[in-house]
Amino acid sequence: MRAIPIVMAAALSATGCATTPLPPQAMAHNRAGAEHLRAGRLDEAEARFRLALEYHPAFSEPHANLGVVALERGDLVSAEAHLRSAIRLREDFAQAWGNLGVVFDRTHRGAEAVRVFERALSIDPGIASIRRNLAFLLARRGELGPARAHLVRLLELTPRDVDASSLLAYCELRLGRPRAALERAERVLAERPTAARALVVRGVARAMTRDLDGAVADLERGVRDPIVGRDARTRLAAVLVIRGDEERAEVLLRALLRERERDAAVHLVAATRSLAVGDATGGARHARRALAIEPRLAQARVLLAQACVRTRCEE
């Protein structure tokens, strides 16, 4: 299930860009189909769009609208075919490019989706739904700098988008702007107290001020989010270690190490936990593993030095 659903472009307009005049009947059927589509009547919408194409097969909008119908039904193969037909007929069709990006995203072709969303925005930078899709996709891919840049522009277009504002707060946190992150997160939580990404930001801030119970409460509410969930679990494990909640920390760390064996942050927390329970050998092992993944990780070197003082190992 998507916590951040892809927002498709609205039903497309009934105007066309064909080189020959559009028959009035084709335009009327496309317009009626768009009304059915907005109301969720997919069979009726499809019938109207196909009637429009019978009157004018080179009418790009009904092709694109059939792609939206297929997306609504989850038929991604048909959706891609219809959207490509629309783009062949009209290369500057921003909405069709945007919805093709939705298809690529849903079929796990993330790099292609990014490229197609960018193509759509190069045609029309003002389509908020496409910019939103791109920003959220970039965040899921861990490309937080570009995601932040698009979120800032998106919020100028749609300032009341709480999900986008919450995600921007998280990007600010991860990019080293904790004060800006917390200020934005608090504004989000004043409007929507259950916003997972804003809760993670506040949880991190609470951990930094030693409000460990508050940090745990906030971080626990973000662990299932598709974008911030992994980070929330790692940070939650760290807070549990600091709080001395040994049993929960151990269970969570075991799961994290199974799932994310090549995540340096997880090994840092595991090293900290090992040292906290007197397992200097385990602390050294995890610190070395973190350094193997990220050789410049200063915190891992500190933990390794602490472990080696106890075990007389070589750093």
Question: What are the boundaries of each domain within the chain?
Answer: 1-11+21-141, 256-315
C-alpha distances in Å from residue 129, one per residue of 52, 177, 181: 26, 26, 23
Q: What is the pTM of this model?
A: 0.86
C-beta separation of 67 from 96 below 8 A: yes
C-beta separation of 104 from 84 below 8 A: no
Residues 6+ apart with CB under 8 A from 177: none
Exposed e or buried b per residue across 57-76, where buried means at least 16 C-beta atoms within 10 angstroms of its C-beta? ebbbbbbbbbbbbbbeeeeb
- Domain 1-11+21-141, CATH 1.25.40.10 — does that match? yes
Per-position pLDDT tens, the chain of length 315? 222 222 333 344 434 444 568 899 999 999 999 999 999 999 999 999 999 999 999 999 999 999 999 999 999 999 999 999 999 999 999 999 999 999 999 999 999 999 999 999 999 999 999 999 999 999 999 999 999 999 999 999 999 999 999 999 999 999 999 999 999 999 999 999 999 999 999 999 999 999 999 999 999 999 999 999 999 999 999 999 999 998 999 999 999 999 989 999 999 999 999 999 999 999 999 999 999 999 999 998 998 888 888 776 655
Residue 24: exposed, middle, or buried by beta-carbon count in 10 A (0-12, 13-18, 19+)?
exposed
